[in-house]
Amino acid sequence: MLQAFVLSAVLLAALKPVASAAAVFPPPAKHVTLNVGNAQLAPDGFSRSTVVVNGQYPGPPILVNKGDSLSVTVNNRLTDPTMRRSTSLDLDGLFSPTSELPDEGSPFVTQCPIGPGASYTYDHGAIDQAGTFWYHSQLSIQYIDGFRGPLIVYDPNDPLKSLYDVDDVNTIIQLGDWWHNTTLSPTMLPQYEATGIIPVSDSSTINGAARYNGGPAVPWSVVNVVKGKRYRLRLINESARNVVTFNVEGHSLNIIEADGEALVPHVVNALDMLAGQRYSVVLTANQPIANYWIQTPFVGGAPARNLNQNITLSRAILRYAGAPIADPTTPMDVGPFPESLVEAELRPLVPQAAPPADVNVTLDLEVIAGQAIWTVNGVSFLPPKTPTLMKVLEGASTAADFNATENTFVFPAHKTIQFTFPENDDDDAHPLHMHGQNFWLIKPNSTDVINTVDPIKRDTAAAGANGMILRFRTDKPGPFHFHCHIFWHYQAGLATVLLNDPAGTRAQVHPDAAWEGLCPAYNALPADEQ
């Protein structure tokens, strides 16, 4: 069942100004404690062991303001021997400004995992972003078992604040695929690797609640509104596979943010969201007082492979104050919806031309037929035993210094890199996700037009049948993961490492002693605890 949100962020200190014109004061600090453990939960009515944060699914929201210094302590309390017992944390979409780690939480890229019984603190530093983000385990497919939650960075000076009246914890909408099998990593992942057939989810949760065919009538999640008010809904697709269509019966949606980037307001009736993508939409409660369906039909494999799945059960309720406590009386609409989002029509609130490319790279995504082996330019990524960052700090500087299966691309500092993904005939639109920074999406999968004048920037976009072109800068030194956010594909090799400026990394990145201790501790664990 849906657990009540419990805020775990605690304001540590409010620093008082000192009478000195030369004084420089850090922003207030937020410290968050995430206790990662096992719990028996039933989000869709089927009880199973889960991997969750502070005993709940989804995890508690991390809520901070732009300018806050954020630190997150992960206490690994995992004990279930049928699952992975080590863990990690990815603050998805946040870019670390500290000199300790260029990117937090990428196992075997920037650090080793956190073993059972251990703790580790990510000192993120002052946040200079704002928008809708999330956190999850980056280890194997562990977040499918429940280790995922929202991370919202509010901007008190949001330039679009005049467009909405309400933006709080109650307007966060988390979408997530859900499996009944409790041995996803030890059994279903090897089955997928052997057959190439991704397991199909049993249900799809909205803020932690769902139903499945033949299951109990779990209460729908409810979003409460007051007629006449405007609500900023923060949508997060926390799925490991499913592409979700979001629609609210009888209401239009004004898109104002994608992946932490402010947009020129763009009105639609529905929008598709790939795994890992986030949007903010403004919904105006301007309809007659009643109950309305929040409709989230999804695509994620052949439903015939899992008879529990029923996309008409992927829904929630928008309830106006004064409406009866009852389900809407209309049938659910599973689309297609008119006036749905075309990603290529989005524009940044502050236009910025994409810089000319200094380096051009073509990336081909291919799968070996009948097997779960994905390749990028012919290489299937395998995580190394020694993290990329550790190798760089020890002197690695060229692609030849890494195993071929690490698929590491080395780029010089302060250059613009263009990635071109050719058209492919694969059925999946791969949500490619870049750690460490956003990229200019100069040709989305939804158009043949190349836009270098005012493209949007984001961190997750589709490489699919129509191809994609993106550009990014190498101004930030360090290794950064770039991978498919369908985590089944990620585990099957659809990933690379982008290493910017190895010499600059050694000069600027200085991990602490706690980081130094992670790999020896992890490597000393027995295999069943890793």
pLDDT tens profile 82-123:
999 999 999 999 998 877 888 878 999 999 999 999 999 999
The 10s digit of each residue's pLDDT in 308-323 is: 999 999 999 999 999 9
pTM of the model: 0.94
The per-residue pLDDT for 424 is 78
Are residues 110 and 228 both part of a single domain?
no
**Nearest-angstrom CA–CA distance, 37 and 215:** 26
In a domain, 353, yes or no: no
Nearest to 417 by CA among 487, 480, 367: 480
Q: Quick check: is 478 in a domain?
A: yes
pLDDT tens for residues 29-68? 799 999 999 999 999 999 999 999 999 999 999 999 999 9
**Residue 186, in any domain of the structure:** yes
Q: Which residue is it, tokens 């903010």?
A: 280
How many domains, the chain? 3
Residues 215 and 327 in one domain: yes
**pLDDT score of 27:** 60
Question: Does residue 370 belong to any structural domain of this protein?
Answer: yes
* Spacing of C-alpha 66 from chain mean position: 19
Note whether 120 and 254 are same-domain residues.
Answer: no
User: Are 47 and 110 members of one domain?
Assistant: yes
Q: How far apart are CA 201 and CA 307, in angstroms?
A: 10
Give the pLDDT confidence score for residue 17 in this predicted structure: 28
From 157, 185, 209, the end of a domain falls on 157
* Beta carbons within 8 Å of 437's beta carbon, 6+ residues apart: 95, 459, 472, 473, 476, 480
Asked if 183 and 214 sit in the same domain, the reply is yes
Which of 157, 182, 211 terminates a domain? The answer is 157
CA–CA gap between residue 52 and residue 146 (Å, rounded) = 5
Question: Which pLDDT value is given to residue 14?
Answer: 28
Taking alpha carbons only, the member of 432, 377, 433 closest to residue 408 is: 377
Are 43 and 21 members of one domain? yes
Do 143 and 252 lie in a common domain?
A: no
Query: What sign has the CA pseudo-torsion 65, 70, 76, 77?
Result: negative
Q: Is residue 145 domain-shared with residue 220, that is, in the same domain?
A: no
Q: Are 283 and 199 members of one domain?
A: yes
Task: Supply 142's token pair.
Answer: 């562990």
Residues 369 and 513 in one domain: yes
Residue 352 domain-assigned (yes or no): no
**Residue 328: how many other CB atoms lie within 10 Å:** 19
Of 50, 41, 40, 45, residue with least CA distance to 313: 45
Task: Residue 513: give its domain's CATH number.
Answer: 2.60.40.420
**Spans of the chain below 70 pLDDT:** 1-28, 184-186, 369-370, 425-428
Q: Give the residue numbers spanning the domain of 423.
A: 359-523
